Amino acid sequence: MSDIIIKHGFQPVYKNFNVPNNKGKKLFESKHVVNVQEIKSKNGLSRVVGYVIRQTSVTNNPWKVTFDLNLTGNVLNASCECPAGEGAKCKHIVAVCHCICNEEGLSKTDEPQQWGCFSKAGSEKYKKGKCIAALFPNKKSKLAIDNITPVTLESFVNEGSIFSLPCSFTNIIKQKSLAEVDKERKTCLDEIITKIEFDYTSNLNKKHIAKMFFCQSQNVIPNLTCFPLNSKEDKFYFDYIHLNKINIFEVFNKTTLQSESKLWNDLRKYRLSASVKAHKIRTCRNWTEMGLKNLAVKILKEVKLGKKGSINVSYGQSTESIALETFKNDYKKEVLNCGLVINFLRPWLCASPDGIILNTYGTIENVLEIKYPISVKNIPIIEGNKINLKYLYWNDNKLALKTSSMYYTQCQILMHCTGLDTCDLFIYNNIESVLITVEKKHCFLLKLIDRMSFFYFNFYLPKLCS
């Protein structure tokens, strides 16, 4: 089903930030907000796009405002092209919110008629004239008084007979009541269906997670040195980091939406993940106390996406499901949908695979990682002997992944967290996709896990507690 675009009849939105002044409201009242539309996607989330005319240089392009809404109408994240940029500091975002919550449904036909009216001079000149309505008044209907049964207000309230009155008001009340009942019924059914689907999926995943725990326990990397923790760090570690196998299994099932899940985001913040953090630690050149402290601050700091980053993320979100289906169809593989995978031996380490590949017997076989680089969106990945991706190279006439690349580090941590020995790196392209199999390198992981463990307990965990 395609996205739905709404230009009128918006539902109210709820801002999750305080508005420091009324500048945004004044912009809305001054008719500076134009071309507002809401785009509802098939997953129920919405994106609102609107334009705000500049107060100065009005001939320039208006400021574009964009923000996302969840199912309950709460604003998730907002952005504006103006220098202020975002949140409560941007009056343009507030103006668009006011426009949605205070939409006017009036048209010219709702306003009093202006044409054909008597001028003031004409009214004074023809005082004896009458309007059409006065010349031809509506005839009053004759009521059959004898047929009306007298009722009391008490009977309306106690017996509910007010709904039997044939008038528009009672019809509106009936329709509203039915709408609320239907809405409550739908909510109840959705909750039941979601619970059944979750229980069914969890039951299917039990054997896969059990196999994953077994594979994790077979990792040749020994338990490395445990760094001493102070009382504050020790409490934080056992309150927020340490998880038993039951907890890890629940996390895996509850975070299958990955980046759309709040739990997924919260748990990853406290841990070192396979995606970016591991490679930053691996390639850190300033391995001094000051350098590692700065690295911990840099990793914990939420970096806001620029224009290029937003384009890449948007392309990835629109391509992710297509790439996964292409892999399944091309290689005739069944793929297990994954949530956050936490290593039970090292609960401070986690990964989020794009899937776990099942063999013909229905057991886990390889970990799957999918990439969809926008740089080769409309050009071949391989043109003759030329490779259009800098992290790939030819190795004995076979396409291979450079060991210096961030994706190589990611694949190795994915295999370590899942306990599997191979990772299928599927690079999707509109023209021709490629598949590269990456083998687990124990020497590489031994050095990297040792480095990550030292960094986590000496710099990252203390920074989390501060």
Q: How many residues does the chain have?
A: 466
Q: What is the pLDDT of residue 162?
A: 61
Q: What is the pLDDT of residue 202?
A: 77
Each residue's pLDDT tens digit, 394-413: 998 899 999 999 999 999 99
Are 24 and 80 within 8 A, CB to CB?
Answer: no
Helix (H, G, I), strand (E, B) or coil at 97: helix
Rounded to an integer, the average pLDDT of 302-315 is 67
Q: What is the pLDDT of residue 335?
A: 93
Q: In the block, which residue shows the tokens 């229905």?
A: 362
- CB atoms inside a 10 Å sphere around CB 243: 16
**Please, which residues bridge with residue 6 across strands?**
38
Q: What is the pLDDT of residue 248?
A: 92
Q: Specify the higher pLDDT residue, 106 or 85.
A: 85
Each residue's pLDDT tens digit, 118-156: 666 666 655 566 677 776 777 766 555 555 666 665 665
Rounded to an integer, the average pLDDT of 35-63 is 85
Give 304's pLDDT tier (boundaries 50, 70, 90).
low
- Residue 341: name the closest of 352, 331, 330 by CA: 352
Residue spans per domain, the chain: 4-101, 194-465
User: CA 243 to CA 37: how far, in whole Å?
Assistant: 44
Is residue 91 pLDDT above 60, yes or no? yes
Give 226's pLDDT tier (boundaries 50, 70, 90).
low
Each residue's pLDDT tens digit, 430-463: 888 999 999 999 999 999 999 999 999 999 999 9
**Please, which residues bridge with residue 434 across strands?**
427
User: CA 233 to CA 242: how far, in whole Å?
Assistant: 12
What CATH fold (topology level) applies to the domain 194-465?
Lambda Exonuclease; Chain A (3.90.320)
User: CA 143 to CA 124: how far, in whole Å?
Assistant: 40
Give 235's pLDDT tier (boundaries 50, 70, 90).
very high
User: CA 222 to CA 225: how far, in whole Å?
Assistant: 9
User: CA 234 to CA 459: how far, in whole Å?
Assistant: 14
Q: What is the pLDDT of residue 100?
A: 83
Helix (H, G, I), strand (E, B) or coil at 399: strand
Is residue 309 pLDDT above 80, yes or no? no
Global model pTM greater than 0.75: no
Rounded to an integer, the average pLDDT of 232-244 is 92
Q: What is the pLDDT of residue 177?
A: 66
Are 52 and 123 within 8 A, CB to CB?
Answer: no
Q: What is the pLDDT of residue 368?
A: 95
Q: What is the pLDDT of residue 157?
A: 55
Percent of the chain's residues with pLDDT above 90: 38
